[in-house]
């Protein structure tokens, strides 16, 4: 049986794989699993629900809210806000669970449901499995009368609370820094420009007019060419690109050159090390991170730990080891002193604070890490497990690894959110990386 939950919640095309009926049942099952131990005679459980602006979010929010209310949970709707805001507010409101409705960087027709436990933390696999099991066994009837949960349509101070929280995290004024922010017509269309302006930066916002249909449409962190051009045109010091739910942040320097998640982690890790904030002198990343990050951390005397792909696995390792910084090459950066999940707006603030503290450009800070040539090819597949088990694919990987030796790396893995197989190759030069990645992608395509 295929697992319902992927690497980041439940995703699918809205009204096909991810239907209102499924959302209703998921809301009820999650409410049962995440709140049954926290119920008291004097207090009903509370759930915080937020979403990104895509059109299907309205439908799914209504269905999820109904499912949770049917289990005796009061639902606090916070409207369109970034994923990290919903995680923060779950804790700030003292709620028993949180739900974010978003497919992150995926195109508009898709949507997703992410759950948080009390404290605003993503769920471990065991809790997700329990929700799946409960989904099929939960009866359709629940409490009646006074036992039914209430739905509060808007928490009017939600965004203000989140922005105040972000301001408490910024160590210095950002006055004198001009930033272009690409909001991806997504959940941070208002929060990101406001936060950067409140911290003192001069802000130029682009793609900050969501209309329910244009989220991630040729903009945001998956289309970084847009902000590269805008930074140069506006003569800005830095560009920051978010994805649809703003748990990611990628950067661009004044010349329009990309600064990816690995480079951002290197910048923040060295800054936190200097300020005595990098607990256990350790950074947590994933197996997808560039070898250049490992070399830069070794030079700085910082331990680099690698987890499987997915920010919740980074988080799990951080929580278990008590580490303060982790993230992914894609721009999910987790600063655990201020957030329980990746927060793209917080990342942008901390990057600009580092620029202000050191009086350095983002290009100068990023130069501390040399990015080794890396080629990533996304191959559409119909059966990811079939590819993983194919003997020819395994033999081809072994052959590529032998050819690269210690000068490179090969990683093939299924996407956790899309019907894709990701082929990644690092090598001493780009031509070699492209050649080997192309060869492996062709083999995957044939399976």
- Which residues participate in catalysis according to the annotation? 104
Taking CA atoms, 241 is separated from 24, 83, 163, 208, in Å, by 33, 15, 18, 11
Taking CA atoms, 260 is separated from 165, 174, 197, 267, in Å, by 25, 21, 23, 11
Residue with tokens 């009204």, as numbered in its chain? 15
Q: Was 289 annotated as part of a binding site?
A: no
Q: Was 253 annotated as part of a binding site?
A: no
Q: Was 247 annotated as part of a binding site?
A: yes
Q: Was 125 annotated as part of a binding site?
A: no
In sequence order, what E strands does 298-389 have? 303-307, 325-327, 333-335, 374-380
Q: Return d(Cα 23, Cα 63) in angstroms, integer.
A: 6
CB 321 within 8 A of CB 305: yes
Query: Roughly what angle, to the nearest 10 degrees, separates helices 20-35 and 56-69?
Result: 40
Which DSSP symbol is given to 371? P
Instruction: Say if strands 74-80 and 151-152 run parallel, antiparallel, or are unpaired.
Output: parallel
Instruction: Say if strands 202-206 and 178-182 run parallel, antiparallel, or are unpaired.
Output: parallel
| DSSP-derived 3-state class of residue 319 | helix
Taking CA atoms, 87 is separated from 81, 227, 279, in Å, by 10, 27, 23
Instruction: Say if strands 282-286 and 303-307 run parallel, antiparallel, or are unpaired.
Output: parallel
Which DSSP symbol is given to 112? E
Binding region: 104, 243, 245, 247
Annotated binding-site members for Mg(2+): 104, 243, 245, 247
């Amino acid at each position: 049986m295929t697992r319902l939950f992927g690497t980041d919640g439940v995703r699918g095309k809205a009204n096909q794989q991810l239907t209102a009926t499924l959302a209703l049942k998921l809301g009820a099952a999650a409410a049962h699993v995440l709140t049954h131990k926290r119920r008291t005679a004097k207090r009903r459980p509370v759930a915080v629900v937020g979403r990104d602006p895509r059109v299907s979010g309205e439908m799914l929010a209504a269905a999820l809210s109904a499912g949770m209310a049917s289990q005796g949970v009061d639902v606090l709707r916070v409207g369109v806000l970034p994923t990290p805001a919903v995680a923060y507010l779950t804790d700030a409101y003292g709620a028993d669970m949180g739900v974010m409705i978003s497919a992150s960087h995926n195109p508009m027709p898709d949507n997703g449901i992410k759950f948080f436990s009390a404290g605003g933390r993503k769920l471990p696999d065991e809790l997700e499995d329990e929700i799946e099991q409960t989904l099929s066994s939960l009866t359709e009837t629940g409490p009646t009368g006074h036992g039914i949960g209430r739905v509060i349509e808007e928490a009017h101070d939600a965004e203000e609370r989140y922005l105040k929280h972000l301001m408490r995290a910024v160590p210095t004024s950002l006055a004198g820094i001009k930033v272009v922010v690409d909001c991806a017509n997504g959940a941070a269309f208002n929060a990101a420009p406001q936060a950067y302006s409140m911290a003192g930066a001069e802000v130029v916002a682009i793609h900050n007019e969501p209309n329910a249909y244009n989220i991630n449409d040729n903009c945001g962190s998956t289309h970084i060419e847009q902000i590269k051009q805008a930074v140069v045109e506006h003569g800005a010091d830095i560009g920051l690109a978010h994805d649809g739910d703003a748990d990611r942040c990628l950067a661009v320097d004044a010349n329009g050159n990309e600064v990816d998640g690995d480079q951002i982690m290197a910048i923040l890790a060295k800054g936190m090390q200097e300020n005595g904030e990098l607990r256990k002198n350790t950074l947590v990343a994933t197996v997808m991170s560039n070898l250049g990050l490992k070399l830069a951390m070794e030079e700085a005397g910082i331990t680099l730990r690698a987890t499987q792909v997915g920010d919740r696995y980074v988080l799990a390792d951080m929580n278990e080891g008590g580490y303060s910084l982790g993230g992914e090459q894609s721009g999910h950066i987790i600063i655990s002193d201020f957030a329980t999940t990746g927060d793209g707006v917080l990342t942008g603030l901390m990057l600009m604070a580092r620029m202000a503290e050191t009086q350095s450009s983002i290009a100068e800070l990023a130069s501390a890490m040399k990015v080794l040539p890396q080629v990533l090819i996304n191959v559409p597949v119909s059966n990811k497990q079939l590819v993983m088990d194919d003997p020819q694919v395994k033999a081809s990987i072994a052959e590529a690894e032998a050819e690269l030796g210690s000068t490179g790396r090969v990683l093939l893995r299924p996407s956790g959110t899309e019907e894709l197989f990701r082929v990644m190759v690092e090598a001493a030069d780009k031509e070699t990386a492209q050649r080997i990645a192309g060869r492996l992608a062709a083999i995957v395509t044939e399976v």
